[in-house]
Amino acid sequence: MEFLFVLIVLLVLITVSCIKIVPQAHAYVIERLGAYQTTWGVGLHFKVPIIDKVAKKVVLKEQVADYPPQPVITKDNVTMQIDSVLFYQITDPKLYAYDIENPMLALANLTATTLRNIIGDLDLDQTLTSRELINSKMREVLDIATDPWGIKVNRVELKNIIPPEQIREAMEKQMKAERDKRKDILEAEGSKQSQILVAEGKKESAVLEAEAAKQAAILKAEADKQAQILSAEAAKQAAILKAQGEAEAILKIQQANAEGIKMVKEAGADQAVLTMKSLDAFKAAANGNATKIIIPSEIQGIAGLASSLSGVIKENDRS
């Protein structure tokens, strides 16, 4: 009875031990009697007791391999330390389990040798400035080399590039010299720009002054022109008004003469009166400035007659 109980317990334990659950992103490599049988994926599985065994448990997630600094020599014989980071993923658990004895050790050694080969073709300056080139070359070479192992290299990154102490000091001095050079160049450029701006300011000021003088001269010329035009217009208007005044005076004189002649005619003036008027006209013509006046003989006769008549009249008045 006890033996049966022990047997049942053993069967239960064996059965439970043969039930396997494969978690997410994992794979189990199963061997039967020492030979590869199958690869279990995610889920519940049952293996044959004693005959089957789990030969290797493989993680299918992307993994990171961080390698310590490796000594490498550049093309110009400079020894430096470079450490790298490798991102890889197992794609075939069977190849990973059977095609190489220690895949991680092999991957580390392959990474170191590949890095030395690539850096050996570059000089110091190229090594310091060609990280992307080195990363892409290493990823390509490692991916091809690890494909038979069921490993895919997704990415390779160089963490640090550490040159020797003497090189670092020389680089620091070079960087300081470059900074000083850039500083001197910037100061020279600033001085140059300042001088250019000052010259341009003086030029613009001179141009503005010339423009102002030009505008002032133009305005003065315009003012002189307007003054001359106004003066000419004033003289013209004065001349016109003077001529109009003289014309009106002449017209008034002619009208007065016409009125006088008309009045004489209407009054019935005889020849003696007309002769006296003529003498008055000659007297007005002389205007006190003439020394000799020539009077026609007809007027002289009439004047004598007028003088005789005047004498007779005076005598009659005395009587």
Instruction: Report which DSSP code applies to 270.
Output: -
Residues 54 and 79 in one domain: no
Residues 76 and 47 in one domain: no
Could you list the residue range(s) of the whole structural domain that residue 295 is in? Answer: 270-319
Domain's final residue, options 10, 31, 59: 59
Collapsed DSSP state (helix, strand, coil) of residue 242: helix
Residues 73 and 49 in one domain: no
Residues 67 and 146 in one domain: yes
Q: 30-39, 192-201, 296-305: which has the minimum mean pLDDT?
A: 296-305
d(C-alpha 175, C-alpha 81), whole Å: 21
Let me know if residue 252 belongs to a domain: no
Domain holding 153: CATH number? 3.30.479.30
For 43, phi and psi rounded to 5 degrees? 135, -170
Closest CA to 270 of 306, 297, 295, 310: 306
Let me know if residue 253 belongs to a domain: no
d(C-alpha 70, C-alpha 115), whole Å: 9
Residues 30 and 95 in one domain: no
Residues 99 and 35 in one domain: no
Let me know if residue 237 belongs to a domain: no
Let me know if residue 6 belongs to a domain: yes
Note the pLDDT of residue 312: 40
Domain's final residue, options 104, 134, 163: 163
Note the pLDDT of residue 220: 87
Residues 285 and 317 in one domain: yes
Instruction: Report which DSSP code applies to 57.
Output: E
For 314, phi and psi rounded to 5 degrees? -60, -40
Residues 42 and 74 in one domain: no
Q: What is the DSSP string of 110-139?
A: HHHHHHHHHHHTS-HHHHHH-HHHHHHHHH
Kindly report, residue by residue over 250-264, the tens digit of the pLDDT.
777 777 777 766 776
For 69, phi and psi rounded to 5 degrees? -55, 135
Let me know if residue 184 belongs to a domain: no
Which residues touch 2 (CB under 8 Å, ≥6 apart)?
Answer: none
Which residues touch 97 (CB under 8 Å, ≥6 apart)?
Answer: 29, 36, 55, 56, 58, 150
Let me know if residue 217 belongs to a domain: no
Q: What is the DSSP string of 197-239?
A: HHHHHHHHHHHHHHHHHHHHHHHHHHHHHHHHHHHHHHHHHHH
The tally of CA atoms less than 13 A away on the side-chain side of residue 172 is 7
Let me know if residue 247 belongs to a domain: no
Whats the size of the chain, residue-wise? Answer: 319
Average pLDDT over residues 125-129: 85
Collapsed DSSP state (helix, strand, coil) of residue 305: helix
Note the pLDDT of residue 60: 94
Number of domains in the chain: 3
- Give me the amino acid identity at 158: L
Let me know if residue 168 belongs to a domain: no
For 158, phi and psi rounded to 5 degrees? -90, 120
Closest CA to 134 of 200, 66, 72: 72
Domain's final residue, options 22, 39, 59: 59
Residues 69 and 136 in one domain: yes
Note the pLDDT of residue 222: 86
Residues 115 and 90 in one domain: yes
**Angle between the N-to-C axes of helices 103-120 and 131-146, in degrees from 0 to 180, rounded to the nearest 10:** 140
Q: 42-56, 221-235, 255-269: which has the minimum mean pLDDT?
A: 255-269
CB-based burial, 238-249: b 16+ in 10 Å, e otherwise: eeeeeeeeeeee
Note the pLDDT of residue 26: 94
Confidence class of residue 310 from pLDDT cuts 50, 70 and 90? Answer: very low
Residues 55 and 67 in one domain: no
The pTM for the full model equals 0.53
Residues 155 and 112 in one domain: yes
Percent of the chain residues topping a pLDDT of 70? 81
Per-residue pLDDT for 99 more than 60? yes
Average pLDDT over residues 283-310: 51
